[in-house]
Amino acid sequence: MKIYTKTGDKGTTALFGGTRVPKHHIRIDSYGTVDELNSHIGLIRDQKIDELSKKILINIQDKLFTVGAVLATDPEKAILKSGQKRLNIPTISTEDIELLEKEIDRMNESLPPMTHFVLPGGHQTVSFCHIARCVCRRAERLATALYEIAPFEETTLHYLNRLSDYLFVLARKLSFDLKAEEIEWIPKKNS
């Protein structure tokens, strides 16, 4: 497979299905942000964290490729007039979302209750989680904007929403595991 094709030299790129769109198109921005998120998750996975979390993160990275494929698919080319799928694009299942929910619940069981927002930071690994959470929220915002223009499977949006929750709880769990200080945000009263 040749890495450079020169077909994008004029500022366009092809979606799944062959349609060419500008590289600044919201669809490209959406799946590009998911790709950025996937790279941040790889950075978290490369830290000294527990094996179960690494295993879950690999699963998440796989699912983010699915999310990217959904977002990169031209909806007009994805379905035949008969209603059958033309392109063999996987989808996010309710089981994928439930896995995140189960992991959130499992991690939360060992954490002290949260009474305030927490400031991102405390340890480099924890900070990587917070950065990934923020990128996930951006990916979700872009995907919801795209969804309003060209709807796709709602489970894709549900997955991104739940993933940002997972990344927040993972940050808290890693703070706990690493004995990092978790600083609560307590609003200061005006004088």
CA–CA dist 8, 58 (Å, integer): 30
Q: What is the pTM of this model?
A: 0.88
Can you give the residue ranges of every domain in the chain?
Answer: 17-182
Task: Give the residue with greater pLDDT, 138 vs 91.
Answer: 138
* Phi-psi domain of 83 (left: phi exceeds 0; alpha: psi -120 through 50; beta: other): left
- Between 150 and 24, the more confident residue is 150
Between these two residues, 25 and 128, which has the higher pLDDT value?
A: 128
Q: Is the domain defined by 17-182 classed in CATH 2.40.37.10?
A: no
Q: What is the mean pLDDT of residues 143-158?
A: 95
